[in-house]
Amino acid sequence: MTPSRRDLVAWLLGAPLAVACRGRGRPPTPDGELLTPGKAAGHRLRDAGRGGAPPDVRIPDDRWRRTEVVVVGGGVAGLGAAWRLLRQGVRDLIVLELDDVAGGTAQAGASAVTAYPWGAHYVVTPMRHQVAMRALLAEVGALDGEDAGGEPVAAEAARVREPEERLFHLGRWYEGGYLHAGASADDHAQLARFTAEMDRWAGWRDGAGRRAFALPAAAGSDDATVTALDRESFATWLDRHGFTSSRLRWLCDYACRDDYGLLAADTSAWAGVAYFAARVAHPGAEHQPVVTWPDGNGRLVAHLAGALGDRLRLGHAVADVRPAAGPRAHPAGDGGDGGVEVVALGPDGPVGVRARRAIIAAPLFVARHVVAPVRAGARALPVIDRGAWAVANLHLDERLRTRPGDAPVAWDNILHDSPSLGYVVATHQGGRDHGPTVLTWYYPFTGDAATARRELDGASRADWAEVALADLGRAHPDLRARCRRVDVAYWGHAMARPRVGAVFDPALAAARAPLGPIHWAGSELSGLALFEEALDHGVRAADEVVAALAGGAVPP
């Protein structure tokens, strides 16, 4: 049974705000649209199968296509794999994407006022070892050479414009993301000690010279000293180190909610420490500068997708990926196999693709049903915990009022006493501090995602809009009067979450290995969902394919 709107607000934000929602004379809920990316097509495909088998789809001979490489999934990992293949000279490829828009949770939207994100909205300036990220950011003009130490420098236009963040607490906005106002001497001492511990990890190197924590995770160490952190929660780690300050614990919980959709009590300590240490180039350095655009990581997605042209096929729900056999298969010579056949349901009916190699950049819970060797038991894919998120874009006709004494509007605006992450301002990067704007509000479900998906499946767009308006209304009393439209995206299977034991799970490492002509990509293969991880796995899979293709003649 779908909860009432008041129940929904109470569940997600607390009873006091639910009571406030009953006030009379309040403006009606603004119009808007509800996006559920990939849900309808995915459920049609699921329901078309029988007993876990793929749908029985017959494809006429003239609906088959040949290509060297087929990529299943047009999120960041799939687009990154295709980008790398093109850069390596493999131009005969096809990318099949379930949704009508590429990019997965990094996609973006636009209005007459501004572009805005629908999910992931920033990356950090890469370090020297991040070759692929450096190349991509250079292509979009986000880097401006190197510093004296050879580390990349973010271009001024791409670096997040100051002020970067502010924090709302008890009726006031404060600068920064840590609540210094009213902090005790012990709070400050614990923060300093925590910072020193993160500096220690930033400077730590194993016997091979690898950092303890790096972006992507594959560039970091697998030394036992580091991997041991994956066997306890971040909250337990904080307890063991005597970090008891409520302000510091709030910061750590916020970090885990922000990147992982979890609380510190459920997050691997490896992932918790990595949030702070992986983005610091060396002890004593500031956090790597944030790189962003009005449309967030949608800017990078648009660049990756734009290079593909008609190689990118949107609205194609892949139903089956199977090793090719018989006279229609590709000739052997690239490892002794005959390639793959992919069956998809496209906008104009079923289509088939025959390729020498396939890259699966779809989530593992999808791959479990569509990849034939996996269905047959040739490989057991790990079950990845995936969190649910809601994202709302609130379109305002004018900026919200700033009260005397408040910190000025920042790019990232955090509500200290809310389970949401607050909002980012789409027009902030352009220096447009007056007039219409779009606020992008994020709500991670830190509990059991299956419960969230079940309980919230029937929530309407207006229900979600009321939650966002009630949440932000506590900091902005004039929000409803200024808001003209609220669009909402509900991501039921948004991102992999690094629970305790997830990052160094042996089953996860095994899942990265090729399965005959089938290769694997996707950020969840790191146990966590970040743009840098998705790009890295896409590039790795593409490099595997290039090496395999070099082993035999390309068929006509």
Residue 500 in 3-state DSSP? coil
Residue 523: DSSP 8-state: G
Q: What average pLDDT does the chain have?
A: 91
pLDDT score of 36: 82
Where in the chain are the domains?
Answer: 5-30+386-496, 64-106+297-382+501-549, 186-288
With bands split at pLDDT 50, 70 and 90, how would you rate the model's confidence at 432?
confident
pLDDT-wise least confident of 201-205, 322-326, 480-484: 322-326
Residue 428: DSSP 8-state: T
Residue 47 reports pLDDT greater than 80: no
- Cβ atoms of 168 and 475 within 8 Å: the answer is yes
Could you tell me whether strands 64-72 and 93-96 are parallel, antiparallel, or unpaired per DSSP bridges?
parallel
Task: List, for residues 277-320, the tens digit of each pLDDT value.
Answer: 999 999 999 999 999 999 999 999 999 999 999 999 999 999 99
Task: List, for residues 171-220, the tens digit of each pLDDT value.
Answer: 999 999 999 999 999 999 999 999 999 999 999 999 999 999 999 999 99
Q: 4 is written with which tokens?
A: 């009432």
State the average pLDDT over residues 462-475.
95
- Cβ atoms of 210 and 254 within 8 Å: the answer is no
Bridge partners (DSSP) of residue 93 are: 69
Question: How big is the chain, counted in residues?
Answer: 556
pLDDT over 70 percentage in the chain:
91
pLDDT score of 28: 87
pLDDT score of 328: 46
Residue 49 reports pLDDT greater than 80: no
- Cβ atoms of 153 and 144 within 8 Å: the answer is yes
Bridge partners (DSSP) of residue 391 are: 442, 489
Beta strand segments in 326-430, E: 340-346, 349-360, 386-396, 412-415, 422-425
Residue 92 reports pLDDT greater than 50: yes
- Which of 406, 490, 396, 392 lies closest to 441, judged by CA? 392
pLDDT score of 555: 31
5-30+386-496 folds as: Polyamine Oxidase; Chain A, domain 2 (3.90.660)
Q: Which residues contact 310 (CB under 8 A, 6 or more apart)?
A: none
pLDDT score of 552: 46
How remote is the C-alpha of 5 from its chain's centroid?
Answer: 28
> Structure pTM?
0.93
Cα separation, 121 vs 118, in Å, equals: 8
Residue 388 reports pLDDT greater than 60: yes
| Domain 186-288 is found in CATH 1.10.405 | yes
- Cβ atoms of 37 and 489 within 8 Å: the answer is yes
Task: List, for residues 327-386, the tens digit of each pLDDT value.
Answer: 444 443 334 458 999 999 999 999 999 999 999 999 999 999 999 999 999 999 999 999
What SS3 string covers 62-104? HHEEEEEEEEECCCHHHHHHHHHHHHCCCCCEEEECCCCCCCH
Cα separation, 154 vs 141, in Å, equals: 9
What SS3 string covers 273-290? HHHHHCCECCCCCCECCE
With bands split at pLDDT 50, 70 and 90, how would you rate the model's confidence at 325?
confident
Contacts for 57-60: CB closer than 8 Å, 24+ residues apart: 57/319, 57/320, 57/343, 57/345, 57/350, 58/350, 59/343, 59/350, 59/351, 59/352
Domain range 64-106+297-382+501-549, CATH class: alpha beta
